[in-house]
Every structure is written in C-alpha cells, then in structure tokens.
Amino acid sequence: MIGVDQVSWSYPHAEQPSLRTLDLQIKPGEFVILCGASGSGKSTALRLMNGLIPHFHNDGVLTGTVTVDGIVTVDAELDAIGLVTGTVLQHPRRQFFTDTAREETAFAMENFGLPPDLIRHRVAGVLAELADHVPVEQRLRELSGGQQQQVAIAAASAHGPGVLLLDEPSSNLSADAVDRLTATLAALKAQGVTIVVAEHRLSYLSELVDRVIVMRDGTIDAEWTADEFRAVTDADLAREGLRGRVRSVELPTLPAIGDSVAAGRAEFAVDTGGLELDGVRCRLGGRVVLDLEQAVFPAGEVTAIRGVNGAGKTTLARVVTGLQRSTGRIRLGGVTLGTRARQRASAIVMQDVQRQLFTDSVEAEIELAASDAVRVPATGDVLDALDLAQLADRHPLSLSGGQQQRLVVASVRVSGRRIVVFDEPSSGVDRRHLQSISDQIRQVAADGAVVLLISHDDDLLALAADRQLTLRPTER
C-alpha cells in the first residue's frame, strides 16, 4: 500500500537532511505508529506519504521514490494522492478550508466530484456522530482545539480514503475524546483502512497497532511487532526517549465557584499577590462558554486547568490574558486590571505556537521576548535547558513542531510577565523534553508569576502542577 524506498529529504537552508535513505514498506490494512524524539522525521515522513513533499514543500532536495496505492507521488497530481489518502495535521485549524463542520466534511468530497446524494448521506452520518460532543453548527474557529481535532478527523476520513495519516491526533484531546478517537480508528481498521499515526503518546494505541517504527535522526532506529511493543518495558521506552504508560495524578482542588466549575472548593483565602476572578462570564456564538462566580489563582504556584474538550479552558486563558472580552472583574495583587493591562502583564503559550513566531532566528525570537522584561534569566541558559542552543541561527519556521513548542516556552520563560498561561505545551513533545518543559514551568512559578497550565497530559501535570481547577461546559 505504501512504499518509501531509499528516500532522503532536506528542507531548504537546513544543515542536515530531515530524512536519510529511509526505507519503509506498509501493507494494505496495516496500522503503523511512527514514534521517536522531536525532530526525528515523523511528520516529514507523513508529508511524503500524502504528497505534500514535493508538491507543496517543493523547494527542498528529494531523492528516492514514494509509492502510495500504486501512485508514484512525485509523478502524480496532488489531488490524485488526496483521493486515496486522508490527513489530520497536529494543528487542525491549519487544514480547514470552510467555516463549519458541515461544510468542512463535504469539502473534499465535493472537490473529488462524488455524487451529491452520497455526499449528503456521509455528511449526515458524520454530524450525527459528532453532535453529542461537538456543537456542529458553531463556526469552526469558535470550537475548542480538541473539538477542532475531532472535526478534522471526521472530515479527513469522510471521502473513504484507503490510507489515513494522522500527526499527533491525541495532542489536544481530553480522556473521553481519546477513547472516542480509539474507537474511530478501530472501526476504520476493521474496514481495511491503512493507518499511519505519528505519536508521542503510545499507550492508547497498544491494542490497535500492528507495528511500531522508532525513528531517530531521519531514519529507522528500531522496529517492533505488536507483541514486542506490548512487552517493551518502561526502561526500554525511556532509552528511546518515548513516553511510557500514562500516570494518573490527583491534585488539591483550587477554590472556585460558578456554573463552569466541575470540581472546586467554596472557601477562599486572601492572596494579595494572586489573580482573582469575580463574576467573570464570557459569551461566544450566542451562548455562555465560561462562568466563574469566583476563583483565586495563587502566585508562585502552577494551577492545572482541566476538563473535557469545550469546557472553556482556552477561553479562560484568553480572558485572563486580555485576549477575549468578558464581563466581571479581574484583579492581580489586589489591583483591578482592564483588558489592555492584562495584556501587558501576561504571556501565553498557545496550542498552535506557529502563530507566535515573529522573527527570522531562534536567537532573535528569544531576544524579542526578553526585550522589555525587568529581570530575566540568562537566555543562553534557557536555550540550553530546552535543547535549543544548537538551533540559535535557525529560522523558527524551519523547526519541527516540538522544537517550535519549546522555543515559545523559552520565550515565555524570559518574558518576566506576572501572569503566564501554558495551553497544551506538551503537544509534540517527547519524554526527555517533557521534563525540561515542566522544569521551565516550575521555574516561572518560582519567579513569582501566577501560572495556569491547561493540559490533558497527565504525565506533564504530575511533573509540573501544584493544584487543579476542573471546568465543565455550561448549559446556557
């Protein structure tokens, strides 16, 4: 079904190739995981299989041959490859072409010229499956990152491709959504779809996978059958830089009350240096998406923000950092801050960090972030801690997703802001860098900032969080 024969690929201006004489054969109906450290070539391998290399990324150097369902990708048109493949990117908003889930699901089928009755039938089926967990009539940009991910998966498979390619599909999903993703992939596998998943979080796929390919420096470092993978010890995974079994974490509960609070305490202690929310409500698309009657986030600690997709976690991040209008009052250190004041006092690591990269080098990005800080750690030390020092001269957009994630974490670390929000900072992050990111989050809090950590990643929460606030979707 998929043949990658002696393929090497170098992105423009890169000092080293991203793939080195890669050889990989995937059988029809096989379920394969591509894993390995950030920057090992996983996402690049997927771009070979869906034809984005060389038809979209066309200014690099490619050698070797890639064949998908009998199509030699370098000789075919991109739409011919797209007809037999479906792709889900790590950040799904980058692949949306329309405004609603209904339109997005129909989009590829319309472009491929499928019969209108068939399109309507498939769209109706997709929306019926999504409706219990995603407000499908809302605009896509108003959905949470996890909800967007679910729409992207449904849209990518609606035209019935024989090959489905997914890049970190669980990165923004809550535990219940990961269960639904697992069930969806199981159903597609049962239908004979060939599935290739680039992932750092492996445990949820253990009963589906046929083969695990471990990549390092652009080539295959190890290969396990399903039985071999299930027998691999945590120590073996650690040696490869791979995530182990997910650990459960129980944290003290933050004092908070309001319709958005799924789990909180009503008693409040005075914290003159902390962040206080009083009667904060936010409406989007005609409905209340965040309702916090009262909440106090202490300075010097890391508060985990948890909850299902669509519970209002990212909305909370945008409200406290002044990026989203709301009613109510927000105080920092006892002083009421308006929208602009919160923007000046805040820093945020967004889910899609590529939207936060503004300069032409890693070093310049760090210097920009530190330019107006009163007291900052040595930027070189932060780059070393996050394994970025050797990339100082690289353009940020030439980095892998995990490297970009760490760069924005580094920028926030040196910004010296009093309110710092990390929104899913471990997506695309391997085991070793998970520890370094958690260390930086801890250090931001130790510097005296109010730190909010939005994450579904229990591994990260176990390392970095002090307490938690669990949100739920409001009913209004």
pLDDT for residue 296: 93
Average pLDDT for the chain: 90
Residue 132, pLDDT above cutoff 80: yes
**Cβ neighbours of residue 82 under 8 Å, at least 6 residues apart?**
50, 51, 108, 112
Give the pLDDT confidence of 243-283 residue by residue, as tens digits.
Answer: 876 666 789 999 899 999 987 666 666 566 899 999 999 99
**Count of other CB atoms within 10 angstroms of residue 87:** 22
pLDDT for residue 268: 63
For the chain, the first-to-last Cα distance in angstroms comes to 48
pLDDT for residue 196: 98
Residue 189, pLDDT above cutoff 90: yes
Q: Which of 11-15, 328-332, 389-393 is the least confident region?
A: 11-15
> What whole-number distance in Å separates Cα of residue 22 and Cα of residue 3?
10
Nearest to 293 by CA among 74, 474, 24: 474
Is 71 within 8 Å of 85 (Cβ atoms)? Answer: no
pLDDT for residue 201: 84
Cis peptide before 54 (omega within 30 of 0): yes
Task: Name the pLDDT band for 346 (thresholds 50, 70, 90).
Answer: very high
**Cβ neighbours of residue 390 under 8 Å, at least 6 residues apart?**
none
The secondary structure of residue 138, as a DSSP letter, is S
Give the pLDDT confidence of 65-81 residue by residue, as tens digits.
Answer: 999 999 999 999 999 99
Query: Could you tell me what percent of the chain has a pLDDT over 70?
Result: 96
The secondary structure of residue 265, as a DSSP letter, is B
Query: Could you tell me what percent of the chain has a pLDDT over 90?
Result: 65
List, edge to edge, every strand of the sheet that includes 71-72.
19-26, 2-10, 61-68, 71-72
Q: Distance of CA 75 to CAs 22, 43, 62, 136, Å?
A: 19, 21, 13, 38
Residue 56, pLDDT above cutoff 80: yes
413 exposed, middle or buried (CB, 10 Å; 0-12, 13-18, 19+)?
A: buried
**209-220: average pLDDT:** 95
Token digits of residue 42: 């996983």
Is 413 within 8 Å of 440 (Cβ atoms)? Answer: yes
pLDDT for residue 10: 92
> What whole-number distance in Å separates Cα of residue 362 and Cα of residue 305?
29
3-state SS class at 401: helix
Where do runs of H (alpha helix) occur along 420-457? 431-446
Is 140 within 8 Å of 96 (Cβ atoms)? Answer: yes
> What whole-number distance in Å separates Cα of residue 225 and Cα of residue 267?
53
Residue that the structure tokens 């989007």 belong to: 284
Strands 302-306 and 467-471: parallel
Give the pLDDT confidence of 419-444 residue by residue, as tens digits.
Answer: 999 999 987 778 888 889 999 999 99
Give the pLDDT confidence of 110-124 residue by residue, as tens digits.
Answer: 999 999 999 999 999
Is 405 within 8 Å of 356 (Cβ atoms)? Answer: no
Nearest to 267 by CA among 253, 277, 286: 253
Token digits of residue 216: 């390092």
Record the pTM. 0.82
Strands 31-36 and 211-216: parallel
pLDDT for residue 239: 81
All domains of the chain in start order, with CATH: 2-239 (3.40.50.300), 256-471 (3.40.50.300)
**299-306: average pLDDT:** 96
pLDDT for residue 133: 83
pLDDT for residue 410: 93
> What whole-number distance in Å separates Cα of residue 303 and Cα of residue 289?
20
Is 2 within 8 Å of 68 (Cβ atoms)? Answer: yes
3-state SS class at 144: coil
Token digits of residue 88: 């889900």
Give the pLDDT confidence of 308-337 residue by residue, as tens digits.
Answer: 888 999 999 999 999 999 999 999 999 999
**39-65: average pLDDT:** 93
**136-152: average pLDDT:** 86
Token digits of residue 471: 């949100």
Task: Name the pLDDT band for 302 (thresholds 50, 70, 90).
Answer: very high
pLDDT for residue 459: 87
Q: Which helix (H) or strand (E) holds 406?
A: helix 401-413
> What whole-number distance in Å separates Cα of residue 35 and Cα of residue 200?
6
Is 172 within 8 Å of 425 (Cβ atoms)? Answer: no
Residue 235, pLDDT above cutoff 60: yes
Nearest to 306 by CA among 413, 203, 423, 430: 423
3-state SS class at 293: strand
